[in-house]
Amino acid sequence: MADESLITRRRLLGLFGAAATLPALAACGSSVGDGTGQSGAQGGGTVRVGLVVPQSGVYAALGTDMQRGWQLWLDGNGNKFGDYTVETVVVDEGESPQTGVPAVQRVLQSDGVDVVVGLVNSATALGVRDLLTESRKLLVVTNAGAEGLTAANRTPYIWRTSFTNGQVAAAMGTHLAESGFSEGVYAIAPDYAAGTEVLAGFRRAFETGGGRVVGEAKPPFGTTSDYQPFLTAIQDSGARATFCFFSGAEAITFVRQYTQFGLSSTIPLYGSGFLTEGSVLEQQGAAALGVQTTLHYSDQLDNPANSAFVEAYTAAHAESPSCFSVQTWDAANVLNRALRSTSALDGDALATALGGVGSIGDSPRGPWTFENQTPRQTMYLRRVEDLRGTLVNAVVQDLGQQSQPAA
């Protein structure tokens, strides 16, 4: 089904208006509609959604943003997907497959959901692939960037409204290779599935552009609090810049220690955008100033949909949204489109419907489309700046529409 034209700022504000007065983190039933005045041709009843996001552990703040984005769409869109009332069951993903996989099993087997939405951890997403395929239920991933989920051996039951790890990292690899840093970059990311893919994606793009990686490190994930040994290695490597991938609490610690160690003034810090995204930026404080990242979203993007989204989100939560909020908002957005064109809730019907949604023209990130069940979308170069006393990820450059990199 073709997408409708880009919605105006006034109309979006009308859709979002209820959000400021309704609970943002409700774990009870909600419903969603598209706000266009069009009703679905079929359907009715309830669609039960399992929202599996971190509520504890290193990525708990990301989970909060994801819940808020989901609820904002629900609160502002008549509480329906097509003609279906939406009931949301929120379950804690935790920070690892040891907690995330059982959480998905629970919503599928005990809670009887029709659709699963969420997942931050790439290893968890990979760990539930066979479970979703066997149950023939749809999973819409709203963060985890594992390449294999949407690569050649993908299952038709897993779609993504976020990114792939290599997609974000490759954008920075290409940029740095073209920006005078080809003689040496040090790369560092935590030792787990996402970190491994980020390093591989960055290296491939950077070296393709003529760059040379002079060193690489993979600190233990979730347990590293002192990065001094790694910072010493960076200092001794002769690197002209550092590329890194950290998120959540680890991003706060690494950026602070990078500046405290004195590296930020001599070896500029670059990264995948999660390094300075969301609530971590305020906690990083002045240590983050000047850090440059690539990502598919910034709350500073100048388009009508984003202006309305930021205004509504800020009114509801007294802070700006993050890419994690947008990715989950977009999951609700595309599920609504799917359920306007199908009367069935099984994974096969929903997957077919998602394949027909066309361009998503009203996303705060800007227009994007599904390509191999994952977004083809614009990547932006961002720099942390002080905007009237508030740290923001200012948009420096539009890097163009980019696909998931080929393996």
pLDDT digits (tens, 9 = 90+) for 334-391: 999 999 999 899 999 999 999 999 999 999 999 999 999 999 999 999 999 999 999 9
Q: Cβ(128)–Cβ(102) under 8 Å?
A: no
Q: Cβ(55)–Cβ(92) under 8 Å?
A: yes
**Which pair of structure tokens corresponds to residue 385?**
């700046």
Strand 158-160's sheet: what is its strand order? 80-81, 84-92, 46-53, 115-118, 138-141, 158-160
How far from 362 is each of 234, 389, 407, CA to CA, in Å? 42, 30, 30
pLDDT digits (tens, 9 = 90+) for 221-237: 989 999 999 999 999 99
Give the whole-angstrom CA distance, residue 367 versus residue 152.
25
How far from 108 is each of 91, 136, 221, CA to CA, in Å? 11, 10, 28
Q: What is the three-class DSSP state of 215? A: strand
Q: Cβ(244)–Cβ(253) under 8 Å?
A: no
First to last CA, the chain: 30
**pLDDT at residue 360, as a whole number:** 96
Question: Between the CA atoms of 376, 63, 290 and 271, what dihedral angle is there, to the nearest 10 degrees?
Answer: -50
Tens-digit pLDDT string for the chain (407 aa):
333 333 333 334 343 433 333 333 333 333 333 333 333 345 579 999 999 999 998 889 899 999 999 999 999 998 899 999 999 999 999 999 999 999 999 999 999 999 999 999 988 999 999 999 999 999 999 999 999 999 988 999 999 999 999 999 999 999 999 998 988 999 999 998 889 999 999 999 999 999 999 999 999 998 999 999 999 999 999 999 999 999 888 999 999 999 999 999 999 999 999 999 988 999 999 999 999 999 999 999 999 999 999 999 999 999 999 999 999 999 999 999 999 999 899 999 999 999 999 999 999 999 999 999 999 999 999 999 999 999 999 999 999 999 998 75
Q: Cβ(379)–Cβ(295) under 8 Å?
A: yes
Give the domains, in start order, of the chain with CATH numbers: 9-163+301-372 (3.40.50.2300), 166-295+380-402 (3.40.50.2300)
Question: Between the CA atoms of 323, 77, 45 and 23, what dihedral angle is there, to the nearest 10 degrees?
Answer: 70
The structure's pTM equals 0.87
Q: Closest Cα to residue 294, out of 278, 273, 280, 277?
A: 273
**pLDDT at residue 1, as a whole number:** 37
Q: How many CB atoms lie within 10 A of CB 120?
A: 30
What does the buried/exposed string (b/e) look like for 24-45 if buried means 16 or more CB atoms within 10 Å of the residue's CB? beeeeebbbbbbeeeebeebee
Pairing outcome for strands 241-244 and 46-53:
unpaired
**pLDDT at residue 28, as a whole number:** 36
Q: What is the three-class DSSP state of 67? A: helix
Q: Closest Cα to residue 374, out of 133, 66, 164, 60?
A: 164
**pLDDT at residue 19, as a whole number:** 35
Q: Closest Cα to residue 347, out of 156, 136, 158?
A: 136
